[in-house]
Structure 1
């Protein structure tokens, strides 16, 4: 397995589930990042206890207050990360924060659609915009012109539930607002890959699998993929991404997911 080698990484929604799993495994790499920034909506809350425990053992883990739907919070988070980096750039941004609101199609609401879209699609847009200057700085400071996640990258954690061709697990979870938000996130990823390529920033969407998290198990079924296996697979995929992969939609095993 090619080992991911980055100086700095930011993970949003890092206090539980896949986000916490990403932080754990990044810290456990043979050559861990110099800085792992863990974005968390409520760093002092009960749901962030495990993250705080990790931070007490790893001085390279910095918990950053970050509400991805709040522009003021995003701006403050970017300023904190910039200060911590001390003049260097951010190599890897993983937009992981997301929510799901299970509803039947006939019962879907304006409130649900708005809340889920704001978190799952607009959030990654705003966070990526705020951290773009740091990503560009990392790209400029990296040798060579080829794109890679060691240089500068935005990885959006999507879902094949948002694949218009696959409509993954339709019978087990209609979650219309979630599906629509992830389909929109996929288009955002494609747009980012085109818009940020000249800045040296690779952009890709990843489907983590149907994972054993609070969100994944909310439909009343036990998902087949553990957080550990999903994250290990995604980090392997991330480590191997290169120029040809920018703007693609892949799963946690590196297989192409249809749009």
Structure 2
């Protein structure tokens, strides 16, 4: 595959699961990014221990306190990243942070819906707004006009559970707030692609597959995909994306998914 050549990348929810997998793969690239920003809610906590270990070995990894459900935290993270980047821009923003609550139709609550939407949908919206100046700067500093993930891009980690036209998933994933938040995230991705293409920023929603993570196993089943397999697949997809792909919904193998 064509190698991604990324100057800088920020991954949210980077202390475990898919987010941590992205960080590990970016650091292990033949030509790694100059800056790898790992956002997580508690950088000094026990759940960020693996990130801390990586940061002690990789000078280009910067762990940033970031709670995407809190606008002030997002604003502070953007200021930190801007300072680290100096005069350069942010090439790639991966909105990976997400939460789930195991609530069916009868058990869903206002509190659940509000909490899930705030993290899974509103968070990526606010992240896009806060980091837009840095993404625009990356696009302006990249030669050529064609969109790509090596120029400037927002990648929203979505889910096939957000597919409105896939009712067969309901029995496997009857988590109402989570599924609604991902369907809304897909619409956000489409809106971002329409609003940000003029700035040279590619926007795409990716389904990582059913992955062996804490979130993926929350329904009590054993997912078929490892984090490594999923992340390798998604990075291969990202390396192949071009202008025609902005605003699309793809899975970890590059297959177009129905809305």
Q: Shared topology, TM-score over 0.5?
A: yes
Q: What TM-score comes out, normalization by structure 2 length?
A: 0.99
2:164 aligned with 1:192: no
2:203 corresponds to: 203
Output one character per residue of 1:223-251: Cα deviation in whole Å (capped at 9) or x when no partner. Answer: 00100000000011011110000000000
- In the alignment, the residues of structure 2 paired with residue 227 and residue 35 of structure 1 have an alpha-carbon distance, to the nearest angstrom, of 22
1:144 corresponds to: 144
In the superposition, relative to structure 1, how do residues 182 and 168 fare at CA in structure 2: closer, same or farther (>3 Å)? farther
1:4, distance to aligned residue in structure 2 (A): 1.3
1:128 corresponds to: 128
- In the alignment, the residues of structure 2 paired with residue 41 and residue 124 of structure 1 have an alpha-carbon distance, to the nearest angstrom, of 15
Aligned 8 A contact 2:158 2:207 in 1: yes
Aligned 8 A contact 2:161 2:173 in 1: no
Aligned 8 A contact 1:161 1:167 in 2: no
- In the alignment, the residues of structure 2 paired with residue 58 and residue 149 of structure 1 have an alpha-carbon distance, to the nearest angstrom, of 23
In the superposition, relative to structure 1, how do residues 142 and 17 fare at CA in structure 2: closer, same or farther (>3 Å)? same
* Matched position secondary structure for 2:106: helix
- In the alignment, the residues of structure 2 paired with residue 133 and residue 166 of structure 1 have an alpha-carbon distance, to the nearest angstrom, of 36
1:100 corresponds to: 100
* Matched position secondary structure for 2:169: coil
1:39 corresponds to: 39
Aligned 8 A contact 1:160 1:167 in 2: no
1:168, distance to aligned residue in structure 2 (A): 6.0
2:84 corresponds to: 84
State the number of aligned residues: 259
* Matched position secondary structure for 1:104: coil
Aligned 8 A contact 2:103 2:174 in 1: yes
1:173, distance to aligned residue in structure 2 (A): 2.1
Output one character per residue of 1:46-85: Cα deviation in whole Å (capped at 9) or x when no partner. Answer: 1000010011111000001101011111111000000000
2:248 corresponds to: 248
1:167, distance to aligned residue in structure 2 (A): 4.0
- In the alignment, the residues of structure 2 paired with residue 56 and residue 169 of structure 1 have an alpha-carbon distance, to the nearest angstrom, of 42
1:225 corresponds to: 225
